[in-house]
Structures are given as C-alpha cells and as structure tokens.
Amino acid sequence: MSQYAKELEVAQLAVQRAAILTKRVFHEKAKGTVSKDDKSPVTIGDFGAQALIISALKANFPEDEIVAEEEADRLRGDPQLQDTIWELVRSTGLDDPAAERLLGGALADKAAMLDVLDMGKSQGGARGRIWAIDPIDGTKGFLRGGQYAVCLGLMVDGDVKVGVLGCPNLPVDDAAPLTADMGAEGQTDDEGRGVLFSAVLGQGAASRPLGTGALVEPRKRIAMRPIEEMAGATFCESVESGHSNQGESAQIAQRLSITNPSVRMDSQAKYGSIARGAGDIYLRLPTSKTYQEKIWDHAAGDLIVREAGGQVTDTLGRRLDFSKGRTLAENKGVVAAPAAVHGQVLKVVREVLKL
Ligand SMILES: Nc1ncnc2c1ncn2[C@@H]1O[C@H](COP(=O)(O)OS(=O)(=O)O)[C@@H](OP(=O)(O)O)[C@H]1O
Ligand SMILES: [Mg+2]
Ligand SMILES: [Mg+2]
Ligand SMILES: [Mg+2]
C-alpha cells in the first residue's frame, strides 16, 4: 500500500460526506447564518460539516490533533440552533454502507456533536500529525450561491502530506474552461457539477467526481497547463476586495501583458481550478499589514497545486510555512503559478508591491 493511502481514503470520504450536508444547506434559502466575533459569517453548514469531518477523523486516527476553523462556544447557549444543526448532522450519511462504516457511522447524540465540534482547537505547530479543516471555505460565496470548498489537509511535522478539496459547484469536467461567471451567484443546478481534488506529497494530484457514497472511480491525474505565452494566461482571484488587492493584481497582469479578464471565485476552488489547468495563476495580495492567513485556507490547495506541477510561495518568494501554528505567521500573501513561470510572476509581484 502506498504511503498515506488510508489517510487519503478517509479524507476523501470525510470531505464527500460533509459536502452532502453543505449541499443540502446550499439549496435552502435560510442558511442559518450567525455572525462571528470578527464579523465574518458562519452557517449551520459550517458547523455541521465540521462535526462530520472531525468525527470521521477521530474514528480512524484518534491520536491525531486537529486545527479546525469553527468552535461550539456560540452554539452552547442556543438550543434551537443546536437542534437545527443536529437534525442535519444526524440525517446526513454516505449512501454506501461500507464507506459510512469506515467513517465510524453516525454520532451518538447532540452532546457528542458539540464535543466533537470542539476537538479542533489544537494550536498546530511543527511536531506530530495535525489535520487542518475548513468545513466551508468561501462562506460568503456559499451564501451568495457561488463557489465554496470543503477543505482538509494532513500535516506531519509541519509539512502538508495529504490534501483534499471538495468543490460542489465547480464543473466536474477537468477540461471545462473557466468562465467569468463561474464564481457568480445563483448556482442552483447540481447537474455536471461537483469535483473532489486530492494529492499526496510525492504522488501527484488527482480529481474525481464528488459522489454520495463510495468514492467515484477512476481517480484521474491532473496537471497545470504549460504556459507558452504569458500573454495568454488567466488569473484567478478572490471575489472579496478585502481578501486580496484587486487593483495591484490588475497592475501585475498588465505588466505581464495578460489581457484575459481575471476570474473571480471564492474559496480554495481557485487552487483546484489552476491545478487542473482551468486558469493558470492565483494571487492573494495582502490588503492589511496585520492579517495572518489561516492554515486551513491553504493547506490542501498548496499541496494540490505543487503536486500538479505548480509552485506556491508568498509574495516574498518563501514557501508557505504550516509549522507556525494556526496561521501562516511567517508568510505574506500567496503566489501560485506553474513552476516554470513562477519566478517570472513573482518578480513582477515584488516590483508592483515594492517588496
Ligand atoms: N482580511 C483578509 N484577508 C485575507 N483573507 C481573509 C481576510 N479575512 C478573512 N479571510 C479569509 O478569506 C477566506 C475566503 O477567501 P476567499 O479567497 O474565498 O475570498 S473570497 O471569498 O473569494 O473573497 C475566508 O475563509 P472562510 O471564513 O472559510 O470563508 C477567511 O478565512
Ligand atoms: Mg470563516
Ligand atoms: Mg476559509
Ligand atoms: Mg470556513
């Protein structure tokens, strides 16, 4: 068996099961939005998906630590919200009994769900096996009816070894071109959509359709698109201007003679898209001096892009360092591009950002 085969299987199934839950919420008008202390939104989908993923990890790797975005504190004083989430969690499972069994089956009760939700408070760091979970990345996109991703990565001694991204609203077809409206709101039709990206360090990156039971076969290798002419490249960037500086991104595109409009979409769907050659370059340019990127926003995507033939660094050319705790404390922004042109892109990023 190849290294990390069990981790890869469990991670893909856990993400697939959580995505069944997020899709149920996605199609409801009321998504149970709660505001967090930092004013960012969180929904019943985020809580439910996190509970399902942690319970699958604990069933298989009880000793591993977990860094997860959400916590149960906000729910403890709100029995109604607890009930709504529990109803979702209780009634969501894979439709393949063996796969569901592998994930440990259903949680016992509401109290167990709250306990499990709080098992993601590890401080991270440079030692041991640590999973990073973003149950819904791009929550704003999720609320808008756009792109979002269910994200899971395994770090061992600070290095990402396994990465999985479930992207329910991306085209299932790896060859589907990126379109400007891909991140747009109002995606209501699941037909032809839903992809599960995955990678293991040193073993390449792959995709398969996002299913509802056992993993859908085959798992197909993906690769970034070789860029022959920089002028023909396409940028992927955040929808929210507060998450990445879109003005600087436009200046960088101009200096690289890129004329294609950049494709804006929420979440790590950007990493998945460029990894399969639908789009080429993902820039995340800091909008504040103090914001530290969260490890769960990048762990899976960083590995998937590098295993697909890309290079991922920050705006100063340093590899993303996942060993510093819950945030990428030693990095500023992200520059992801095919390895062959990454240096060229980084040079222009540094010129424009005056770094
Ligand atoms: N100021 C600032 N700068 C950079 N990043 C920030 C910032 N504030 C929040 N976040 C994180 O952005 C995550 C969503 O990133 P996206 O690339 O999906 O942004 S966007 O929605 O497309 O605009 C989002 O992840 P989720 O909360 O999981 O949606 C946040 O962790
Ligand atoms: Mg969030
Ligand atoms: Mg996120
Ligand atoms: Mg999130």
Burial of 123 (0-12, 13-18, 19+ CB in 10 A): exposed
CATH code of the domain made up of 5-222: 3.30.540.10
266 lines ligand 1 (CB under 6 A): yes
For CATH 3.40.190.80, the residue range(s) in the chain are: 230-353
Find out whether 181 is annotated in a ligand binding site: no
CA 261 to CA 276: how far, in whole Å?
19
The response to whether 280 counts as a known ligand-binding position is no
- 139 catalytic, yes or no? yes
At 1 the pLDDT is 80
| Minimum CA distance residue for ligand 1 atom 12 | 243
Q: Which of 243, 285, 334 to mutate to test the pocket of ligand 1 (most atoms within 8 A of CB)?
A: 243
137 touches ligand 1 (CB under 6 Å)? yes
Residue intervals of the chain classified under CATH 3.30.540.10 are 5-222
The residue whose two tokens read 């209780």 is 90
Centre of ligand 1 to C-alpha 136, Å, is 11
Which residue from 270, 297, 302 has its CB within 8 A of the most atoms of ligand 1, so it is best to mutate?
Answer: 297
The residue contributing the CA closest to ligand 1 atom 5 is 243
Tell me, what's the pLDDT at 183? 65
pLDDT at 185: 60
What is the predicted pLDDT for the residue at 200?
Answer: 98
From the first residue on, what is the mean pLDDT of each consecutive set of 10 residues in the chain (355 residues)?
96 98 90 77 94 98 98 92 96 98 97 98 98 97 94 98 98 88 66 95 98 98 96 94 94 97 95 97 97 98 99 98 98 98 98 97
- Bridge-partner residues for 66, per DSSP? 131
* Residue 154: closest CA among 333, 18, 20, 12: 12
- Which two three-digit tokens encode residue 15? 């993400």
User: What was the pLDDT predicted at 188?
Assistant: 63
Angle, CA 206 vertex, CA 205 and CA 211 arms, to 5°: 145
Q: Which fold has domain 230-353?
A: D-Maltodextrin-Binding Protein; domain 2 (3.40.190)
How would you classify the pairing of strands 193-200 and 281-284?
Answer: unpaired
CB distance 183 to ligand 1 below 6 Å: no
Q: Are 263 and 104 in contact (CB under 8 A)?
A: no
**Rounded distance from Cα 202 to ligand 2 centre (Å):** 30
Evaluate: CB of 40 within 6 angstroms of ligand 1: yes
Residues 6+ apart with CB under 8 A from 258: 230, 231, 232, 233, 234, 235
Identify the active-site residue in 84, 92, 139, 313.
139
159 to 10, 30, 156, 253, 270: CA distances (angstroms): 19, 39, 5, 31, 21
